[in-house]
Structure 1
Amino acid sequence: MSGHTHDHIDWADRLALLRAADALDAVAMTAVARRLVAGLPPRPTIVDLGCGAGGMSAHFARELGSLSGGVIVLVDATPALLEEAERAANSAADLHVASDGRGSVEIRAVLGDLADTGLAHAVPSADLVWASHVVHHLADQQAAVGAVAAVAKPGGLVALAEGGLDFRCLPWDLGIGRPGLENRMLAAQAEWFIGMREGIDGAVPMPYGWSTALDRAGLTEVDSFGALVHHPSPGPESLADYVVNRLGRLREFAGGHLTADDLATVDTLLDRTGPHFVGARQDLYLLGAKTIHCGRRP
């Protein structure tokens, strides 16, 4: 089955980058999982919509396993991602099971699409519904927020990770090309994103923020909080590969919005045999923030 979705992106092809991002986000997102799980009833049901490579579900599994256990339902439209998420979540869940079964976490995997109108009937009602950077890939984002909310039980919590601050990883002056390359690449990414949204069949504008979208979906107690991801240079061992893959992806989908000179600079940075290969630098870092928007189903 193809990994392409409504946004015409082959997500299965991005599995390695998703895994790397999950690893680098781990400290920040563990804290998010702990905060969200803290207010749930004993042995809750959590549904992770658009679970990707399973990084967040693994955090949820560890948190539930340290408490009373529960059920985590993984949902994704890309089979390769769903398989990886199931592996990651099961691996995390197995770490915390006591000999008497306390803390046992059941992992279920559902091949499904948030755009399917029957999705709410294909998964159990949840005490917590989590959707990270998936709603903005759907044609009608407001309708998608409503679909996410419909999966929650009455009184259940809905949490969307959307927006935040763009991640940065490069020094201002790289010694080649014009300084400020990363700023221009992020601007190119924003232009690509506009085109991606315009290219989705039946795309509907949503000219307001995520908190308003949650409010219009009928949720109460709407609020948001941030999660800082920060790895100062030289960063963990995996950071260099992540930066190389990130730069390659930006070059692939946003390169059409860069000047010829900037494209040449990026190609030089990605040349593993050259003296300016970005993966050999010791001054790489990672800094950015994710925003989590929450609301409760009445």
Structure 2
Amino acid sequence: MIEIDWAGEAGRLRASAEGEAGWNAEVARTLVRDGDQVLADVGCGGGGMAKALAEARPGATVVAIDADPDVLAQAREHTAGLVRCELASLDAGAEPLRQAIGAPADLIWASASVHHAADQQAAVDALAGLLAPGGRLALAEGGLPSRQLPWDLGLGEPGLELRLDLAQDRWFKVMRDSLPGSVPMPYGWTEALTRAGLVDVTTRSVLSETPAPLAPERLDGVVQAFRTRIERLTGGGPHGHGHGHGHEVPDQEWLDPEDVDVWRQLLDPDGPYFLGRRTDLAVLSVRSVHIGHAPR
């Protein structure tokens, strides 16, 4: 069984907020408009986007919202007084979020949080209902699987990273199905925004690339991210972020034993195949942001 430990995840989310500062700043600049007064980051994690929004729109009220106090403490420290941090859960519906924000929002950002809600459409509906006329809801969900490894690592069968993505996809389906009160959403995020009553719905996908060789701190981050993913799929540790409480997934083998053995060798700092000593790892990522506008 796998259970989310939000307190244990808080540090990783803070590190992610720091590591993705450039991406957050780039996206924030495309989202913020002159005249925006109230902006919110729902499911803020380490507060990376909340900080970027505050820096992109000085003088605006920016609210970072999360359901876990340990995660929110990391966001508060990371944003260093630039934003107001509030404790509220997307699972509880619109009203707690409305009270946390305090006024209709010109922009609401939600990254990798709505997909943890049992009823994703209801969550999108709730967020859309918090917008001021003409306000925007931006959901960072999906994109393309990132690529960091060469196809042939000289250990195990080639295509190891592809098989990891497939295993994680199977895991995600079981996770979704296991949520209490889980409701299927058999359509895409743009359709969900449209069903929530938003208009001018579109998607922007942002490509980011860091070529090999990676700087030591970036390489460490890539290795740690792989370690977290493997722990998730082998029952070895906490993971994820989004709605502030744990959920369990039935035990099963997500990866072939041969691949598990390869990953253990790749992630062993004392072993001959440790990824942290390779010079051919890179980062290629495409992340999608789905945007809808409240009618005026």
Determine the structure 2 residue equivalent to 1:100: none
Is 1:28 the counterpart of 2:23 in the alignment?
Answer: yes
Residue 156 of structure 2 aligns to which amino acid in structure 1?
Answer: G
Residues 76-112 of structure 1 show CA distances to partners (whole Å, capped at 9, x for unaligned) of 0111111111222226x4xxxxxxxxxxxxx211111
Q: Does 1:109 align with 2:85?
A: yes
* SS of corresponding position for 1:240: helix
Instruction: Indicate whether 1:84 and 2:78 are aligned.
Output: no
Q: Equivalent residue for 2:181?
A: 202
Cα offset for 1:8? 4.4
**Residue identity opposite 1:75 in structure 2:** I
Cα offset, 1:120, TM superposition: 3.8
Amino acid at match of 2:265: T
Q: Which of 262, 265, 274 is equivalent to 2:262? A: 265
Which residue of structure 1 lines up, in the alignment, with residue 162 of structure 2? 183
Match of 2:129 in 1: 150
Match of 2:65 in 1: 75
Task: Establish whether residue 52 from structure 1 lines up as the match of residue 45 from structure 2.
Answer: yes
Give the whole-Å Cα distance in 2 for the aligned partners of 1:252 and 1:13. 13
Partner of 1:101: none
Give the equivalent residue in structure 1 for 2:56: 63
| Aligned alpha-carbon RMSD (Å) | 1.6
**CA distance in 2 between partners of 1:19 and 1:237 (Å):** 18
Q: Aligned to 1:279, what secondary structure does the other structure show? A: helix
Aligned to 1:294: 291
Task: State the 1:229 CA deviation.
Answer: 2.0
| SS across alignment from 1:218 | coil
Instruction: Give SS of 2:91's match.
Output: coil
Q: Which runs of 5+ in 1 are unaligned?
A: 1-6, 94-106
Displacement, 1:296?
1.0
Residue 268 of structure 1 and its aligned partner are, at CA, apart by 0.5
| Aligned residue number for residue 110 of structure 2 | 131
Deviation at 1:228, TM superposition (A): 1.3
Checking the alignment, whether the CA contact within 8 Å between 1:40 and 1:127 is kept in structure 2 is no
Map 1:189-228 → 2, pairs under 5 A = 189-228=168-207
Deviation of the 1:249 alpha carbon = 1.5
CA distance in structure 2 between the aligned counterparts of 1:21 and 1:234, rounded to whole angstroms? 20
CA contact (8 A) 1:17 1:245 kept: no
Q: 1:54 to 1:120 in 2, by over 3 A?
A: closer
Identity of aligned residues (%): 42
Q: Deviations over 1:205-232 (max 9, x none)?
A: 0000000000000001111101112111
Q: Which sits farther off after the overlay, 45-54 or 229-238?
A: 229-238
Q: Contact 1:192/1:253 (CA < 8 Å) preserved in 2?
A: no
Say which of 96, 100, 104 aligns to 1:119.
96
Conserved in 1, the CA contact under 8 Å of 2:156 and 2:262? yes
Higher relative contact order (CA 8 A, sep 6+): 2
Gaps of 5+ in 2: 235-252
Change (3 A) 1:229 1:14: farther
In the aligned structure 1, how far is the partner of 2:107 from the partner of 2:3? 29
Aligned residue for 2:239? none
CA displacement at 1:235 relative to structure 2: 2.0
In structure 2, do the counterparts of structure 1 residues 119 and 214 end up closer, same or farther at CA, with 3 Å as the change threshold? same
**Cα distance in 2, alignment partners of residues 141 and 231 from structure 1:** 33
> Displacement, 1:23?
3.7
In 2, distance between residues paired with 1:77 and 1:144? Answer: 14
TM-score between the two structures when normalised by the length of structure 1: 0.87
Say which SS state the counterpart of residue 16 (structure 2) adopts: helix
Q: 1:82 to 1:292 in 2, by over 3 A?
A: same
2:180 aligns to what SS in structure 1?
Answer: coil
Q: Name 1:3's counterpart in structure 2.
A: none
Count of aligned positions: 273
Cα offset, 1:40, TM superposition: 4.1
Task: Give secondary structure in 1 for the equivalent of 2:197.
Answer: coil
Q: 2: distance between equivalents of 1:272 and 1:128? A: 43
Q: Deviations over 1:178-199 (max 9, x none)?
A: 1110000111110110111011
CA distance in 1, matches of 2:162, 2:62: 38
Q: 1:140 aligns with which of 119, 141, 145?
A: 119
